[in-house]
Structure 1
């Protein structure tokens, strides 16, 4: 962990570079120095079906869901969240300038007793 999921409304195709957003978010997460490189994942999921607010066709959203393991202080989580939201707002600034876009972020801690992983990336990056 951490895994950052970018869920976005399909009407952002051609209006936002979601690939660039993922790249920038990955860089931001790593720059916090709170997470091991081999654990970070950023993925984007397009929502083909959605209904937003007053249902104007230009209404759009990006929702960021950041799942992390336990072990970070409230201050560290807040710092990471602020950095992630700041990066997303910077990349998506043209959309935020219009009155038809919503950006949100939530950080969720994963219960370690209910989380199983196998990761072959860690040994490679750790030089083992």
Structure 2
């Protein structure tokens, strides 16, 4: 149940291909070998209203929150977090080279007692 949520300043759409960023992040998640194919979700949402740092019009941000189910060790969580950050940072290297961009990632473990799920994709994908 890994879910990667990307929230970004709307002006980032002029500077980056958000669909490509989602695909790169998904690839990093799957390449970790930790998750089965029916599990990952990557989605991106623009923030149409924002105020960043000195409010320079070129300022932009991408904030990522990676939520995953309990039970994975700290090493696995760190490894997949490092992989996501590296993949997205590589995709956004030109923006990171400029003085107007902020990229962040937080890995959050979901409390299993406070999380409910139903997923009909697993049975289909496991049957392959």
Q: What's the TM-score bracket when you normalise by the shorter of the two chains?
A: over 0.9
How much is the aligned-residue C-alpha RMSD, in angstroms?
A: 0.9
Name 2:108's counterpart in structure 1: 108
**Structure 1: which 5+ runs fail to align?**
none
Name 1:126's counterpart in structure 2: 126
Deviation string 1:78-112 (CA, Å, 9 cap, x unpaired) is: 11111000001000011001000000000000000
Q: How does 1:38-49 map to 2 (within 5 A)?
A: 38-49=38-49
Partner Cα distance (1:100, 1:53) in 2: 9
Name 2:95's counterpart in structure 1: 95
Q: TM-score normalised to the size of structure 1?
A: 0.98
Partner Cα distance (1:123, 1:50) in 2: 41
Q: How does 1:3-22 map to 2 (within 5 A)?
A: 3-22=3-22
1:83 to 2:120 alignment: no
Q: Secondary structure at the residue paired with 1:37?
A: coil
**Structure 2: which 5+ runs fail to align?**
none
Runs of 4+ in 1 over 4 A off after TM superposition: none
Q: TM-score normalised to the size of structure 2?
A: 0.98
